[in-house]
A and B are shown apart, each in its own frame.
Chain A
Amino acid sequence: MDKPPHRLPVFLNLAQIRFPIGAIASIAHRVSGVLLFIALPVLAALLHASLRSEADFASVRGLLSSPLSLVVAGVLAWALAHHVLAGIRHLLMDVGIGSELERARASARLILVAAPALALLLLVWGLS
C-alpha cells in the first residue's frame, strides 16, 4: 500500500461534537478530581497548622471564615459532592447496577443536578 505523501488531517474539534449527558458527568468527575487533588496539600497544611499551636489553630479558623475562602469552599464543596456522587454511580455500574443506557443517562442527569444542591447544603451547614 502506498503511503500518503503528507500527514492526513484529523477531525477532532471538541466544540463541534455533541456530547451525551454521560460525557458531561464524566468530564465533571475528572475536573472535580483535579480540584480535590490541588486542595489536598492545602488541607494537609491546614491540618498541620491547626494541630501545632493554639495561635495557629485560631488563624486557621480565621482563614476558613474569610470571604475568599467561602468561594473556595463553595467550589470545593461542589467538587467533593460531584466526585463522591459520580464515584458511587461508577461503583454501582461496575457491578452492573444502572449500567443500561437509559438508567445511566438518568443517573448522570441526577448527579449533575444533585451535586450543586448538595454543595449548597454543605456550605450552609458549614456556615451555621
Chain B
Amino acid sequence: MKINFNNRDPVYLQVVQHFKEQIAKGMLEPGQEIPSRRELAGNLRINPNTAQRAYKEMEEQKLIYTEGNSPSKITKDESVLAAVKKELVTDAVGTFVASMRSINLSLEEVMDLVKTHYDEAGEGKS
C-alpha cells in the first residue's frame, strides 16, 4: 500500500479516501480483513494516532466494522458499498465537468469526447 499524501489535507481523511477508492475498485472486498492501525501506520509511514483517527472515521462512516477482539473488516453492507461507489463517481464526474466547463466546452462536445475515449479504452482492454 502506498499513498502520495498532499500536505494540506488532513492525513486521516486522505487515508479514508484511499480506502474508499480501494473498495470501489474492488481491491478491498466486503468482509476482507484490514491491517491493524499499527501495521497501517508502518505501511504508510504515518503517525499511529493518525491511523487510529482514520479507522475511527471509517467506523463512524460504517465502512469498516469490528467484532470483539478480531481485526477490523470491510463492511458487507451493500447500501454503504453502493454509496461509496456513488460518492467517488459523483466526485470524479464533478471534477471532470468543472474542468470541462472552465474551458467552455459544450455538453455535446464533452459527450462526444467521452464516447470516443470510452470506446477506445474498452478496445485497448480486450
Task: Say if A and B assemble together.
Answer: no
B residues contacting A by CB (< 8 A) are none
